[in-house]
Structures are given as structure tokens and as C-alpha cells.
């Protein structure tokens, strides 16, 4: 069902976004890699080419910078206009107490997570509307849930994720009845394991942390649902919870 779909992924230079891009390509999708670090994007593109024999498009995109977002969308419109799926994965993160956060850190976290995500989604809407069916999927994080504990995240990150969750809910309501399905996933704390590493295929016990693989599989499950099904949101955390105690 997902074979031959074109999927744009923000935050694809590393971590969960990169893992999703690699597995999407493994499953026959055509990923467009978006991120701030051009050399890292090129590295992920090289890994994908080694695995599937096809080099994906990668486009520099800094979600903090409106001009960078506009330039990235212009590139996508030119080189890969048949866009089926947008994955909002990119988001800057900070830890530490609120008093230690600089104004620049606060602005970067909020702008990348909220403002930049909304700007990119809005600019790509015409491409998504032109497809028979399309998806906007946002990786929010459990920090965006009202009952989640702060844990290792910062106040700006938690506030930004709550706002991002509100964006997803509002966009869902606005696009109901259109060809665009809006969905989201709320992962807990994730161990950063890549598909190129042996730990990717290791079976985990009930006390173990989530890995990128768990979240990637959940996202692809949501996206692979038939046209009459929308898994609007999915909370995924380890069985030994990090957020309810």
C-alpha cells in the first residue's frame, strides 16, 4: 500500500527521522530528506542508496528560518511535486531548568516545533491536495500530552510540544472530509538505534526502553491503513511507563 509513495520527512538528518527515511525506502517508498545539516542529509541519502540502489532527494530546510522553508518547498515543487505524505519529525530540543534557557534556545525550540512545522505544512498543502489521497503525520512526543511528566525535557520543549499537539488537532478538524488524512504519534523516551545497527533487530523485554524501530513501525502502521480508516493519534511508550509514575 505504501510502495511508490513519495514521503517528505523533516528531521531526516539523524535519529528517528533518519531511521524512518531508511525503512520507508526499504519498503519501496521515495523519501525526501529535509533537515538543517546538509552533510548529514547526504550521509543518510548515501546509506539509502547502498540499501535500495536509488538515491533519494535531500533538501536543506531549517524550520527556524521562514526563508529556508520557502526555498525547500520551492525545490520540492520543482523536483518531486507528486507528494503523498508529509512527516513532521523535525524539532529542536533542550534540557535543563527553565532559568538556564537562553532567549535564543526558547525561540529555536518553539519556532522549529510549532511555527516552522505549521509554515512547512501550509506551504506543502497544495501538493498534498493534488493527490488522490495524502497524509500529514506529526511525531509529537508524549511531552505534548496533558498528563505527561516533565522528566528530562525542558519547559520550552514541553510547551512547544503541547502547542504542536493543538496544531494537529485543529488541522484534523479543518481537513476532515478532504483527501488529506491528519494523524500523529506520541512516543515516550526513545533509544536512538538505527536500521544499520545490530540493535535494530534485537528483541526487547517489557522493562526495556523504546527504540526508533518501535516508533517507525507504529508510524508505518498508521500510514498503511486503508482510505476509510484514520488512526488519529497513537501514544506509544514502554510497558514500564516513564510518564505515569
CATH code of 59's domain:
3.40.50.720
Burial of 97 by CB count in 10 Å (0-12 exposed, 13-18 middle, 19+ buried)? exposed
What's the structural domain count of the chain? 1
Q: Work out the pLDDT band at 173, boundaries 50, 70, 90.
A: very high
Nearest to 144 by CA among 157, 132, 126: 157
Please give the Cα distance from 223 to 89 (Å, whole number).
Answer: 15
User: Buried (b) or exposed (e) across 45-77, using 16+ Cβ within 10 A?
Assistant: bebbeeebeeebbbbbbbbbbeebbeebbebbe
Higher pLDDT, 147 or 136: 136
Q: What is the rounded distance in angstroms from the CA atom of residue 11 to the CA atom of residue 18?
A: 7
Question: What are the CA-CA distances from residue 5 to residues 32, 55, 115, 228, 241 (Å)?
Answer: 11, 15, 27, 18, 34
pLDDT bracket for residue 238 (50, 70, 90): confident
Query: Of residues 243 and 15, which shows the higher confidence score?
Result: 15
Could you list the residue range(s) of the whole structural domain that residue 35 is in?
Answer: 6-236
For 67-101, the pLDDT digits (tens) are 999 999 999 999 999 999 999 999 998 888 999 99
What is the pTM assigned to this prediction? 0.95
Instruction: Tell whether 1 is covered by a domain.
Output: no
Please report whether residue 242 resides in a domain: no
pLDDT of the residue at 172: 98
Instruction: Quote the mean pLDDT of the chain.
Output: 94
Residue at 151 is within a domain? yes
Whether 15 is covered by a domain: the verdict is yes
In a domain, 169, yes or no: yes
User: Does residue 243 belong to any structural domain of this protein?
Assistant: no
241 within some domain:
no
Per-residue pLDDT, 245: 62
Q: Does residue 119 belong to any structural domain of this protein?
A: yes
Amino acid at each position: 500500500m505504501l510502495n511508490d509513495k513519495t514521503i517528505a520527512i523533516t528531521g531526516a538528518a539523524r535519529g528517528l527521522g533518519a531511521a524512518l527515511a531508511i525503512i520507508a525506502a526499504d519498503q519501496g517508498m521515495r523519501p525526501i530528506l529535509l533537515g538543517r545539516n546538509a552533510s548529514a542529509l547526504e550521509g543518510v541519502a548515501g546509506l539509502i542508496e547502498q540499501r535500495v540502489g536509488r538515491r533519494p532527494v535531500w533538501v536543506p530546510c531549517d524550520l527556524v528560518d521562514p526563508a529556508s522553508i520557502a526555498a525547500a518547498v520551492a525545490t520540492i515543487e520543482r523536483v518531486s511535486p507528486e507528494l503523498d505524505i508529509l512527516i513532521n519529525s523535525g524539532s529542536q530540543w533542550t534540557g535543563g531548568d527553565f532559568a538556564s534557557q537562553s532567549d535564543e534556545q526558547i525561540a529555536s525550540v518553539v519556532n522549529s516545533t510549532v511555527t516552522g512545522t505549521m509554515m512547512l505544512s501550509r506551504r506543502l498543502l497544495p501538493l498534498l491536495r493534488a493527490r488522490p489521497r495524502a497524509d500529514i503525520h506529526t511525531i509529537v512526543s508524549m511531552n505534548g500530552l496533558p498528563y505527561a511528566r516533565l522528566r528530562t525535557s525542558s519547559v520550552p520543549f514541553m510547551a512547544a510540544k503541547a502547542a504542536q499537539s493543538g496544531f494537529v488537532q485543529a488541522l484534523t478538524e479543518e481537513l476532515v472530509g478532504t483527501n488529506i488524512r491528519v494523524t500523529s504519534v506520541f512516543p515516550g523516551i526513545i533509544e536512538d538505534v538505527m536500521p544499520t545497527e545490530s540493535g535494530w533487530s534485537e528483541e526487547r523485554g517489557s522493562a526495556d526502553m523504546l527504540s526508533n524501530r518501535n516508533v517507525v513501525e507504529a508510524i508505518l502502521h498508521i500510514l498503511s491503513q486503508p482510505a476509510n480508516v484514520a488512526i488519529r493519534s497513537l501514544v506509544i511508550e514502554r510497558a514500564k511507563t516513564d510518564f505515569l509514575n
